[in-house]
Amino acid sequence: MGRLVVVEGLDGAGKRTLAEGLVAALAERGAKVAQMAFPRYDADVHAELVRDALYGRLGDLADSVHGMAVLFALDRRDAVDQLRALRCHYDVVLLDRYVASNAAYGAARLHQDAHGSFVDWVRGLEVDRFGVPVPDIQLLLRVPTSVAAARVEHRAQAESARRKDLYETDHGLQARCAAVYDGLAAGGWLAPWSVLEGAPAGVGPLSDLAVQVLDG
């Protein structure tokens, strides 16, 4: 059974860059790696609805913290069989965002911390009720919120298809979300966490991280 590894962090933290480097480091060690990113905007109707809501195309749906969280969760529920199949055929299944993103952003929107009722509710919904697989390890890419915000702004200006959504334009939300992520990692929520400081280039040798991912 392959290891389920999750990369978490703020919008603009550099998760995709880190994932690409980690895939290369794992391949050098002979590991077969499959990748997936959530939300699956082009593969699942619930994710499509999330995108529409985040750009104000579904009325006041985005105002509902729990409503949005259910859509995020249903996207992962739809992927359960695929995740299980990938774990049977690959050494590592690497995910860009997973259940902790739902917990962190929802709790931050409600001004709760990692020990609040919303975090417990997300776990009950996604893991206990929907049966999504629990990760083997979660990697938190921690960067200053100002750095993440600057990257999001640059991306939005450079790519017309990547204009900022409702969450990305709320700097207060991003700061609160960073604090929730720290709390989730410190408490080992859902699975063990490894916190990586700074930009991907500064997280240390990716070969060492690959060993950690493979050996636990």
Instruction: List the one residue out of 137, 120, 138 whose CA is nearest residue 129.
Output: 120
State the residue range of the domain holding 102. Answer: 3-38+90-215
Within-domain flag for 73 = no
Within-domain flag for 160 = yes
Within-domain flag for 99 = yes
Within-domain flag for 57 = no
Q: What is the pLDDT of residues 103-119, one digit of tens each?
A: 999 999 999 999 999 99
- The predicted model gives 178-205 an average pLDDT of 84
Q: What Cα–Cα distance (Å) separates residue 18 from each residue in 14, 106, 186, 192, 196? A: 6, 24, 21, 18, 10
Full-model pTM: 0.89
Within-domain flag for 72 = no
Within-domain flag for 163 = yes
Within-domain flag for 155 = yes
Where residue 128 sits, what CATH number does that domain have? 3.40.50.300
Q: What's the total number of domains in the chain?
A: 1
Q: What is the pLDDT of residues 34-79, one digit of tens each?
A: 999 999 998 999 999 999 998 889 999 999 999 999 999 999 999 9
